[in-house]
Amino acid sequence: MDNQYRHKHTSVSLVNYHFVWCPRYRRKVLVGAVETRLRELIQEVAKKLDLEILALEIMPDHLHLFVNAPPTLAPHDIVARLKGVSSHHLRREFDHIARMPSMWTRSYFVSTAGNVSSDTIRKYIEMQKKRG
């Protein structure tokens, strides 16, 4: 897993999110062709949103997604776009999913993760006082 800092004109950032969400009623529908297509859709949306997929695991009844995101994107915007686009396409392409009341539950899990600890950041800040 490569934690690369994003360098922009006026900022440097490292924002990693771990997402987990599941289909409605935790149905085991994320298998076979659905899993393959879902993986493709997530990669397409990630590219459009400038997300770097660090890890993606699709289980029959849920998925784990670990991404590096730009600091301008809120986690709820990321998951809303991923769930919305994937639901739209999967429901149009697979009859058994189209019969479900909705593809995804409204809920999800998100956690932040970086590659430095709070202690490291604290020490860095303290060192800045001594440098000046």
Active-site residue set? 124
Sign of CA dihedral 71, 73, 76, 81: negative
Consecutive H or E run containing 112 = strand 109-113
Under DSSP, is residue 75 helix (H, G, I), strand (E, B) or coil?
A: helix
**Which amino acid, 97?**
I
